[in-house]
Amino acid sequence: MKQFKFTILFLIINFGGLAIGSWLMNNGPQSDWYTNLNQAPWTPPGWVFGVAWTTIMICFSIYLGKQFLDSSHIKKLSFIFIIEFIFNVSWNFIFFNQHQVLIGLITIILLTSLIFHYFFNLSKKVGNYKYLLLPYMIWLCIATSLNLYILVHN
């Protein structure tokens, strides 16, 4: 029951973060700036982003619910989660709103590194729950490649 409560809390926080990030984009994906960029040939259609992030945040919230239930390092996990949240939300503002492609790339690389850190270093006590991070890890690798492509080709 306690894990369920943690999972609900993280669903609220993570989907709230998606909403804040979306608001900070200032219609970025439909802006003239973004649509006129040379984008990677593997850039998925717009609807894929919504499906991907919904899946990612559900999986990540379940993972975090288990992680926070089984950890004796709540302060450390909370700090790392806050940093992850800030990187995740701020990338939208940095990239889409401010058009800072290089800083966006640095931000998404740091975010990706944090999620890989969760998987490889912070998941010992959660067993197979760590595999709930795979959608996030895969998507961040794709997103990082898209950001890098835009940096190099524009």
pLDDT (tens digit, 9 = 90+) per residue, 105-139? 999 999 999 999 999 999 999 999 999 999 999 99
Q: For residues 148 and 154, give the distance between their C-alpha atoms in angstroms, rounded to a whole number.
A: 10
Average pLDDT (99-104) is 98
The percentage of residues in the chain with a pLDDT greater than 90, rounded to a whole number, is 88
Burial of 136-149, coded b for 16+ CB within 10 Å and e otherwise, reads: bbebbebbbebbbb
Q: Inform me whether the pLDDT recorded for 71 exceeds 80.
A: no
3-state secondary structure (DSSP) of residue 36: coil
Q: For residues 41 and 20, give the distance between their C-alpha atoms in angstroms, rounded to a whole number.
A: 28
